[in-house]
Homo-oligomer: A and B are copies of this chain.
Amino acid sequence: MAKEISKPQATSADTGGRRATTARELAKMLGVSQSAVSRAFTPGASIAAPLRERILKFAAEIDYQPNAIASMLSKSRTNIIGIVVSDMRNPFYPALIERLSRALQRIGLQSLLFNIAPGTNLEEQLTALRRYNVDAVIVISATILSGQTLSWATEGRPAILINRVIEDINMSCIACNNSEGASAIAEHFYERGHKRVAYVAGLSHTTTNRERQYGFITRVAELGMTLTSQADAGEYSYEAGRRAALEIIKGKSVDAIFFANDLLAIGGLDALREEGGCRVPEDIAVAGFDDIAMAAWPHYNLTTFSQPIDDIVRVVVEKVGSNTMQLLEQPEIIRLSGELVKRKTTGL
């Protein structure tokens, strides 16, 4: 009864050869069929428990791992999610990417990172995205990509936009309710007695900016406050925040400034205190948006509207993890609600 089983001789010697054991080889060693090996590694496949165990045990011994590439080809499913990013300078994005990629990994999905450099040929860069047959695409870039480019790049593949809403584009969008958040900031200013307020845009054409701007200005008007001025920083950066803040307070009297995101606000905050000669919050209040880690640092203690990163990740993973096709058939726009975080830049 005892079959002759070839020993896993080639396990350690082939450091140079770099050819891993294949399912067929393993099968031969065990005297079973390659199908059996494949089934042993496929949950729910039709295979008897003892055989599966025998195979898995032996596989572990000789350190066999199914070749994912071959599997992709035959299943036409890669278990890879393409993540398109363009701005890692704003800490909000690394934080999001970190949690997202971990959550994906937890359910067996890998993240292929597409880092879109501004000012380069997008289509060329995204060609790779199309070739790799990723199961779905998650776009985290708040800027840069036009809807058209996106459609081209994802080419009928399930896609989700995070932090960016484009209608009529056949993609699901997930974003926090920017408008309501900005509204809440306006109300908060109002409650603290700041009547003359200003708004600093990041990139004025981005959807996040438009929504935040709209929400803020609308509520400001409703509450009878005065919108003293608006500035367009031109980019979502610390330096831009500094410049915008100084410009805002030049000449005019302002009680409070709402910056389109935290990075701008932090830059503005430093500039106001150090170059503008203002005390914050005594002379002027400041608020941002996102609630990045730095906002909570004691030095900044920035009032902001917190994006529900965990919720975003949860929803994205849910959508991407299950029946991905559904993303295509029923693209939907999902609004998740963030939370106003009152800190010291708007009061004591």
Contact = CB atoms under 8 A, between A and B. Distances in A.
Contacts of A131: 65-68
A114 interface: yes
A297 B298 CA distance: 17
Interface residues on A, range: 35 or more
A113 interface: yes
Nearest to A87: B98
Interface stretch (A103-111, A184-192, A197-205, A254-262): A103-111
B108 A128 contact: yes
Contacts of A125: 105
A88 to B, nearest CB: 4
Contacts of A66: 131
Interface string A63-80: 001111110110000101
Contacts of A102: 115, 117
Contacts of A70: 73
Interface stretch (A89-97, A302-310, A332-340): A89-97
> How many copies of this chain does one complex carry?
2
A88 B192 CA distance: 36
A216 interface: no
Nearest to A325: B18
A100 to B, nearest CB: 9
Contact of A105 (B83, B128, B293): B128
A67 B113 contact: no
Contact of A68 (B95, B133, B275): B133
A238 B95 contact: no
A25 interface: no
A271 B298 CA distance: 9
A4 interface: no
Contacts of A93: 94
Contacts of A113: 83, 97, 101, 110-113
A343 interface: no
A80 B113 CA distance: 10
Interface in A107-165: 108, 110-115, 117, 125, 127-128, 130-133, 156-157
A279 to B, nearest CB: 15
A301 to B, nearest CB: 10
Contacts of A270: 297-299
Contacts of A157: 18
Interface in A214-238: 238
A91 B91 CA distance: 7
B110 A110 contact: no
Contacts of A274: 298-299
Contacts of A67: 131, 133
Given A127-B65, A298-B242, A98 B115 contact: yes
Contacts of A88: 94-95, 97-98
